[in-house]
Amino acid sequence: MQKVLILQSEKHLAGMTLEEKAHQKFRKRLQQKLNRACAEYGLIEDGDHILVGLSGGKDSLALVELLGARQKIFVPHFKVSATYVSMSNIGYKSDLDYLREFCETAGVDFHHVETSFDERVDAEDAKQMHRQKTHCFLCSWYRRKALFDKAKELGCNKIALGHHKDDIVETLLLNLVYQGSFSTIAPRLQMERFPMTIVRPLCLIEEKELAEYAESAGYKKVDRQCPYERESARAAAKKIVGELEQLNPAVRDSLWGAMHNVKEGYLPRRR
């Protein structure tokens, strides 16, 4: 049986163009990185129902495609669904028909939720919580709330987000600068207030890999970009990482290693 499958695979590859073969090889490499992340950080377990937060961008599309392929392997046995949350008062837009068709091709159930926020009222609430009252904070807050509500409605026990290695490294820099904390978003986070786990299966994949793969796969870009995305502190952190890369091309790996090697309480406290 195994010999038959190998012969069928070789026959399939023989009928491909060089570009198609290169794309398949690239996809396999990303799939292996996702599988390794899932194994190293315990992101997927038998019986999971995982809801992907689908933004319409390259990262979440790749996450749907790769997790959709992973769920076809019987061990562990799990199910993947996806939800696109649109914010009616923020000017970004994705093609819902494209997203639905993309998910169906990947073998993933597609759902759409629309929400919004009152900038004047909710900004004051954010201020009282001692949080930033920016558009990005409010949009993220309400999109995440809608995603959690949908996950509970569907009976999901995990939510998968499309954060990649660069996102994690950039968050580390942001926390150092703004919070004085050597911390970042985790590949796996168990929520404290209710039984839901956040997982980030793309954590070992760099953004440039996803961008190149999206180009190779022909992913459709969002119809209208968020008007505030270039104003965030994250854009500045991304620029800093790019500048550090001029000093050390492997800076992301170095920072990633530092997060694993740091010791709690390394500096003695002042008396």
Q: What is the pLDDT of residues 177-198, one digit of tens each?
A: 888 888 899 999 998 887 899 9
Is 1 part of a structural domain of the chain? Answer: no
Q: What is the spatial distance between Cα 211 and Cα 213, in angstroms, rounded to a whole number?
A: 5
Range among 159-163, 181-185, 246-250 rated most confident = 159-163
Which residues have C-beta within 8 Å of that of residue 30, sequence separation ≥ 6? Answer: 62, 66, 205, 209, 210, 213
Output the average pLDDT for the chain: 83
Domains held by the chain: number: 1
Pick the range with the lowest mean pLDDT from 163-167, 174-178, 183-187, 226-230. 226-230
142 or 127, greater pLDDT: 142
Is 142 part of a structural domain of the chain? Answer: yes
* Residue 5 binned pLDDT confidence (cut-offs 50, 70, 90): very low
Is 248 part of a structural domain of the chain? Answer: yes
The answer to whether 185 and 163 have CB atoms below 8 angstroms apart is yes
Is 10 part of a structural domain of the chain? Answer: no
Q: At what angle do helices 165-178 and 251-261 cross, to 10 degrees?
A: 60
Is 267 part of a structural domain of the chain? Answer: no
Is 149 part of a structural domain of the chain? Answer: yes
pLDDT of residue 195: 86
Task: Estimate to the nearest angstrom the gap between the alpha carbon of 52 and the chain centroid.
Answer: 8
Is 53 part of a structural domain of the chain? Answer: yes
* Residue 263 binned pLDDT confidence (cut-offs 50, 70, 90): low
We report the CATH number of the domain holding residue 205 as 3.40.50.620
Is 254 part of a structural domain of the chain? Answer: yes
Instruction: Write the pLDDT tens digit of every residue in 70-108.
Output: 999 878 999 999 999 987 766 667 789 999 999 999 999
pTM above threshold 0.85: no
The first and second tokens of residue 102, run together, are 């993309």
Which residues have C-beta within 8 Å of that of residue 138, sequence separation ≥ 6? Answer: 117, 119, 122, 123, 126
Please say if the pLDDT value at position 125 is more than 60.
no
pLDDT of residue 194: 79
Nearest CA to 50 out of 143, 163, 157, 200 is that of 157
* pLDDT more than 90, % of the chain: 51
Please say if the pLDDT value at position 123 is more than 50.
no
- The residue segments making up the domain with residue 103 are 28-261
